[in-house]
Amino acid sequence: MDIIDIEEKYTSGVYAKQPIAFVRGQGARLWDDKGIEYLDCSSGHGVANLGHAHPKVATAIAHQAAQLITLFETFPNDQRAALMEKLTALTPGLERVFFCNSGTESMEAAIKFARLSTGRTGMIAAMRGFHGRTMGALSATWNKRYREPFAPLIPGFDHVPFNNIEALEKAITAETAAVILEPVQGEGGVYPAQPEYLHAAADLCRQRGALLIMDEVQTGFGRTGRMFAYQHFNITPDLLCCSKSLAGGVPMGAVLIGENVKNLTPGVHGSTFGGNPLSCAAALAALSVLEEENLPEQAAEKGAYLMEKLGVIQSPLIREVRGLGLMIGIELKQKVAPYLKTLQEKHIIALNAGMTVIRLLPPLVISYEQLDQVAAALNEILTAEPIGA
């Protein structure tokens, strides 16, 4: 049996499997088991910001694997200490850090920290928001398709329309522990927050004693043109959740913690693998590559370049092109699944965001030539006869 058949036989069933088995990557390129090359505009769902198999990350992992892979966070470690210093230096105002292993775990931690800190249980999240699939993060996630099979979820979560200040003002009460927002909604359709909305959210939280949790799992580490997307908006959240690209592809999550967050005492939370030296070494290498190669600036410039190319495509199928940096959504007037399949046939891997948005999250190291290739392929398929309409 080949790779695809074996996975088909043994899969849990929770993933809709694609018909390509990838075995190798480099930069923005992937190769399948037959040696066929693809251009990756998905980055493993927004993880590979540095591109695949970055040599500095690979070397750091190999070196640390031979030193010390695992160490529970009760014992300090050189790599973890250095990463704590590095991350907090990148996020002025957020001076402590909790490590975990994924995006959803960073949300779980932030939700627990907000409850502990405020003594309140109410949580306000946004319609179209996506925060993960464990029970707390799922309670903050909006899409019914993810939530309903698992009801009842955690009580106290309310969803308000995104970018609507009035609705937020009405929703935040003396029972609200936190407001949970993505600075650019990813999974929900690539919708950037309006600056005045995030300013109002930060002000209202401060006035009413609630915390602001910013979910930067997808937007962090240069993706939107700044190290973190909230830094476009001149605000500072109380809790910053990150993961995906943090450790250059090695599983890792983190919550950066501001001074308003209280009551974090030994035993209230923890994670066996959190802050393990291997992930910390990978993250240190990944962060130094992001800085040395100016990847956030590159994302801003390349994002603007690609948006311009996409903006001139004359297609009656396109409703809107939007995004920030190299996080771009092309909303169509019809379902995108057949277009993603056609792109794949042209050896370009892209994502959906909901039913009608093509989501592009290429590695930030993608070249201008490769961006031209993506724009040309999209132009071709979106100006041809509509497919699967």
Ligand X SMILES: Cc1ncc(COP(=O)(O)O)c(C=O)c1O
Point out the residues that are catalytic: 130, 215, 244
Among 51, 122, 132, 249, binds ligand X (CB under 6 A): 132
Helices (H), the chain: 3-10, 43-46, 55-65, 78-90, 103-118, 135-140, 144-147, 165-171, 195-208, 277-292, 295-311, 337-345, 368-383
| DSSP letter string, 88-109 | HHHSTTEEEEEEESSHHHHHHH
Among 42, 79, 117, 218, binds ligand X (CB under 6 A): 218
Q: Does 122 bind ligand X (CB under 6 A)?
A: no
CB of 312 vs ligand X, minimal distance in Å = 29
Q: Does 243 bind ligand X (CB under 6 A)?
A: yes
Q: Segment contacting ligand X (CB under 6 A): 18-26, 124-132, 263-271, 275-283?
A: 124-132
Among 38, 99, 113, 130, binds ligand X (CB under 6 A): 130
In 3D, which of 303, 255, 316 has the Cα closest to residue 102? 255
Residue with the two structure tokens 């959740």: 241
Q: Give the number of residues in contact with ligand X, rule: CB under 6 A.
A: 15
Q: Segment contacting ligand X (CB under 6 A): 61-69, 211-219, 331-339, 340-348?
A: 211-219
Q: Are 247 and 233 in contact (CB under 8 A)?
A: no
CB of 174 vs ligand X, minimal distance in Å = 27
CA distance 204 to 217: 23
The DSSP secondary-structure symbol of 210 reads P
Query: Which lies closer to ligand X via its Cβ, residue 176 or residue 218?
Result: 218
Q: Segment contacting ligand X (CB under 6 A): 84-92, 97-105, 108-116, 334-342?
A: 97-105
CB of 251 vs ligand X, minimal distance in Å = 8
- For the record, the structure tokens of 42 come out as 């998905």
Q: Does 271 bind ligand X (CB under 6 A)?
A: no
Q: Does 182 bind ligand X (CB under 6 A)?
A: yes
Give the C-alpha distances (Å, rounded to integers) separating 367 from 122, 307, 312, 328, 371.
45, 15, 20, 16, 6
CB of 198 vs ligand X, minimal distance in Å = 15
Q: Does 45 bind ligand X (CB under 6 A)?
A: yes
CA distance 280 to 293: 20
Query: Which lies closer to ligand X via its Cβ, residue 110 or residue 235?
Result: 110
Among 215, 220, 252, 342, binds ligand X (CB under 6 A): 215
Instruction: Provide the mask over 293-322, with x wherever binding to ligand X is found by CB under 6 A and - wherever it is not.
Output: ------------------------------
Helices (H), 156-214: 165-171, 195-208
CB of 10 vs ligand X, minimal distance in Å = 21
CA dihedral 378→379→384→385, nearest 10 degrees, is 60
CB of 129 vs ligand X, minimal distance in Å = 8
Query: Which lies closer to ligand X via its Cβ, residue 102 or residue 271?
Result: 102
